[in-house]
A and B are shown apart, each in its own frame.
Chain A
Amino acid sequence: DTGVSQDPRHKITKRGQNVTFRCDPISEHNRLYWYRQTLGQGPEFLTYFQNEAQLEKSRLLSDRFSAERPKGSFSTLEIQRTEQGDSAMYLCASSDQRTLSNYGYTFGSGTRLTVV
């Protein structure tokens, strides 16, 4: 297992288009998180999955955002009708209950979204 993988690394899209990102967590981790990071800011929480259940969704997320984690494995984050304000780095992370308190999250390298 090589860590958390995210695809694509970069995405440029026109305003109004839909985009989908994929995250493959560490296979032993049952917890998966999505964060968003803009330039000069720290990561902000978007949503959390435990296995296949989405247990929390931030109030930061509008109805244009949706995330899934079918079968508790990989996850997808979809943004519909993108806006310029959606431009950011989208980070995926994973953990399990034991490692969270000891090692925090393991992050992927992120997907850089640019909306033009």
Chain B
Amino acid sequence: EDQVTQSPEALRLQEGESSSLNCSYTVSGLRGLFWYRQDPGKGPEFLFTLYSAGEEKEKERLKATLTKKESFLHITAPKPEDSATYLCAVQATGGGSNYKLTFGKGTLLTVNP
């Protein structure tokens, strides 16, 4: 069974204080690893897809990286508007359920001004 574990559960940063969120995964074969941002009371919003170990993607203050066992979401010089829950999800290859995303519990990020 596919599993996704995110850490820490919650992270509080000062504005400008860079840090990283971790996503560890277990999957029979990885088709894609997804990062989403979720604001309170809203649905998740797509950020990145990573496909293979060594891949990196960037968007503004966010950079996502991927290894064979985990992914990191690096946040550089965060601003208060980066406060949200960040969700990681995996899509497995093959079988009959390769359309399904398995999510972690998320990391609640709070950036204080």
Contacts and interface: CB of A to CB of B under 8 A. Distances in A.
Contact of A56 (B31, B32, B44, B97): B97
B13 interface: no
B103 interface: yes
Contact of B102 (A45, A56, A108, A109): A45
Contacts of B101: 43, 45, 104-105
Contacts, number: 68
B65 interface: no
Chain A, interface size: which category?
A: 20 to 34
Given A103-B46, A109-B42, A110-B42, 9 more contacts: A42-B6, A42-B87, A48-B99, A48-B100, A56-B96, A95-B99, A101-B91, A110-B43, A112-B41
Interface of A: 4, 31, 33, 40-45, 48, 50, 56, 91, 93, 95, 100-110, 112
